[in-house]
Chain A
Amino acid sequence: MFRNQYDTDITTWSPQGRLHQVEYAMEAVKQGSAVVGVRSDTHVVLATLKRSTSELASTQKKLFSIDDHLGIAIAGLTADARVLGRHMRTECMNYKYIYETAMPVGRLALNVADKCQVSTQRASKRPFGVGLLIAGYDELGPHLYQSCPSGNYYEFYSMAIGARSQSAKTYLERHFEEFASLELQDLILQAIRALRETVSSSKDAELTSKNCAIAYVGKGDTFTIVEDEEIQPYLDTLENSDGKQEEEEEETEDAAEQTEDKPTDAPMED
């Protein structure tokens, strides 16, 4: 059987100049359930799909609060994510202790990425098998970062990672430019819509208050996780607005100047 001899060791380069172990770690991110991040001019929203191993088990946590102004959504190995999460919390605390100021989101993303890089270069380590979406708000405004096992990190307007995230990405690519001016409530709905794209193609296929959780942070809002029964109203709103949309599409011919459908009954939360 063919065996790639360059892919078992983190310190081995392939003749093509690739690092297979790092690439495999990137695959671990794709095994995790999907998470979506979207950004407006004032807020960032993360939407996540939670899995459970059995009917009797609780779902796996996907959202972690790091500091008042910052949190993460994870895809991949949860245990690895907890290590990174703890590191991030410590870094935020240290920064705040020294400067009495919240840590800028970009600097934390850089810090985490540098930490990830270190474990791609030593035989005694393996790369972290987890991708993060980092959502935060600082003096420069809202930020959405993605960090990878490879030690790369990027800032995005919108992004999705994890299993079947491609369909969410396709949705986001079509719509992300419209998000800039959205109110928080509408932004949340957009995030859930994008997330729904990742389940609609599979059989187990529905977002419920059990398997969906979101978080937001932004101007005037500290990092807040919304899950369980609290998320139900959003799902309902989404369902209603979809119903309306379908009706509208049927009526488009005879109602040309129909205004664009907007969910008016979006739940308000403070």
Chain B
Amino acid sequence: MNAVPLSIPLAQGMLLAGVLFAFGLIGLLVRRNLIFMLMSVEIMLNAAGLAFIVAGAQWEQADGQIMFLFILTLAAAEVSVGLALVLQLYRHFQTLDADAMSRLWG
């Protein structure tokens, strides 16, 4: 079978990554719930990985996928420590409101 000449332009994939990153940034800035803030960080990390994959496809190199693997590792380590901290903070303050934790009580 002959391949249909198809090229999803680099700009389209980068646009999707930018939109997802912007959603994550908006969520991180707007929401005050710690769980939602962690989820927004995950969205942003995923969008950054998407940008690497799109660039790797454009230059036909495997390096973009390698970078995504490292971002994946980073996200896994970050979310495990972050969620453990959320559990501790909930025990201390009985709330997940980030504004309630704006003072360091020692």
Do A and B actually bind?
Answer: no
